[in-house]
Amino acid sequence: MARTVSLRDANQHFARLMREVTDTGEEVVITRRGTPVAKLVPVRPAKRELTSEQKAALDFLFSINVDPEKAEDWKFNRDELYDL
């Protein structure tokens, strides 16, 4: 359940509210004359999922054992990488 705070209190104690939201993860609903007008919520970073094609490409690139002296010969353009 989200905590409710008046706009006046939110304005006066904004830094404290930000710390509480960050630390606890609890949402805060800001009201004006009893009507909800805004919500203060923590930002949750999006978890990035690789596609199966991206995973296969990474596996291929990590499986290549290239002699560092010959690494100059291992240059790919974008189309060649997509064809791998």
Going by the DSSP 8-state scheme, the letter that residue 22 receives in this structure is H
- Band of residue 74 on the pLDDT scale cut at 50, 70, 90: low
Domain boundaries, given as residue ranges, for the chain: 3-40, 52-83
In sequence order, what DSSP letters do the residues of 37-81 get, joined into one string? EEEE----PPPP---HHHHHHHHHHHH----GGGGGG----HHHH
Q: CB–CB of 12/37 below 8 Å?
A: no
What does pLDDT average to over the chain? 83
So what's the pLDDT on residue 66? 59
For the entire predicted model, the pTM comes to 0.52
Q: Thinking of the domain 3-40, which architecture would CATH place it in?
A: 3-Layer(aba) Sandwich (3.40)
